Structure 1
């Protein structure tokens, strides 16, 4: 049996579910399931979102299933404490703290429990069509989204700025600063002539105050997709022709799901403030 722990915001959940799909394909005779228990008492983001957004179904691991391989934690708090105190069991596969890609993940025989974010396209590249199908968004209904969708042409650019929870967080802050976005916009303009910038952010005021001088095309600040509808921002990102992303799994997926074969994706080559970090972006993306 293979169990994948799911936790985090939407982008993280999508990486974990993509690994789940890859394990299903790699081990067709084994049961593959998700551990969702840590969402109990987890108050960040919008909880487990995948089944509410996409037409996905997944096997759910029971407490008994988990205890055969790893440790069963009925809620988020106990998991936070237990993972620091209890030793790793033989079947537990923990993601490297440096985010180094582990090529053995999809070949490990026997009962395995996967705990990590697995933010690397190589974990599911062989089954990318299945992942694309799983992450098919429902049709837009809101007027603002439909109106913007009509304006998106072959030169539209999605630009994502993540501040809010990143500001003051030593792991994330300072990577995608104003200089990054200024350079990213310049690089984008060297490849295409933007017709429209769609700005997505949890700090629109900062974007309006700092980015506007560098945006030499019409701009739409997308402010209306909030709460449980926040995923619509990712959907719109995927509908734009090109993408400038932040060091965020949310806009990573917005760019990856973009099916424009001529897309230009610009991303930060540094993902986290760590002395050793082996996070790897897709080869075709421009890293700055």
Structure 2
């Protein structure tokens, strides 16, 4: 079994699922999701359940068996002592760059990271395109907007407002220069 820790907004959730799904397919084993982060007050909502994904939710016991996050000190000590004999392992993403060590992870691995390189999951792209299809039918008003978009040359501009206005933002994601942000506007034709 592969367990992946799911955190963050929808984009992060999709990357984490995609990488873990690829590893589960490679190892021919089930995939489970650790959704404990979403129990934290103020966390973003879990949104992968809107798609046709193929994963179950990991139980707290399954998660703890990998991570050792026991509240009881005796259980934690027993877990630490038995850890060298365990076939269960935690694989943490070492940084923001792709790591070739990912593909060699065995079944019985708990994944912790963002996994934002397509190199983790490009080989199952077609599967992911199917699984990231929305479960619910869209409303007639939304369908009309979608048809309008498809009938013309359309451009979408996404600005992560929080990245610009939040003084405590994560500085490991540098802001692109102003020229970069405005250079796409002429391409929109307006």
TM-score, normalized by length of structure 1? 0.53
In 2, Cα distance between the equivalents of 1:175 and 1:36? 30
In 1, Cα distance between the equivalents of 2:107 and 2:174? 42
Task: Describe the superposition over 1:191-248 as per-residue Cα deviations: whole angstroms up to 9, x where unpaired.
Answer: xxx4xxxxxxxxxxxxxxxxxxxxx43xxxxxxxxxxxxxxxxxxxxxxxxxxxxxxx
**CA RMSD in angstroms, aligned pairs only:** 2.7
Task: Describe the superposition over 1:51-81 as per-residue Cα deviations: whole angstroms up to 9, x where unpaired.
Answer: 1x2133422222222233223379xxxxxxx
Change (3 A) 1:173 1:13: closer
Whether contact under 8 Å (1:37, 1:73) holds in the other structure is: no
In structure 2, the residue matched to 1:148 is: 145
Using CA pairs under 8 Å that are at least 6 residues apart, name the structure with larger relative contact order, 1 or 2.
2
Residue 59 of structure 2: which of 38, 58, 62 is its match?
62
Q: Secondary structure at the match of 2:158?
A: strand
Residue 49 of structure 1: which of 47, 55, 62 is its match?
47
Task: Describe the superposition over 1:95-149 as per-residue Cα deviations: whole angstroms up to 9, x where unpaired.
Answer: 123x110122122225311101101111110000110001112432162x33322
Change (3 A) 1:33 1:121: same
TM-score, normalized by length of structure 2? 0.77
In structure 2, the residue matched to 1:17 is: 17
In structure 2, the residue matched to 1:261 is: none
In 1, Cα distance between the equivalents of 2:158 and 2:104? 35
1:216-255 mapped onto 2 (5 Å cutoff):
216-217=189-190
Where do 5+ consecutive residues of structure 1 fail to align? 75-88, 195-215, 218-288
In 2, Cα distance between the equivalents of 1:166 and 1:93? 32
Residue 158 of structure 1: which of 156, 159, 164 is its match?
156
How many positions carry a matched residue from both structures? 172
Where do 5+ consecutive residues of structure 2 fail to align? 72-82
1:260-279 mapped onto 2 (5 Å cutoff):
none
In structure 2, the residue matched to 1:2 is: 2
Change (3 A) 1:18 1:40: same
Q: Which has the higher helix share?
A: 2
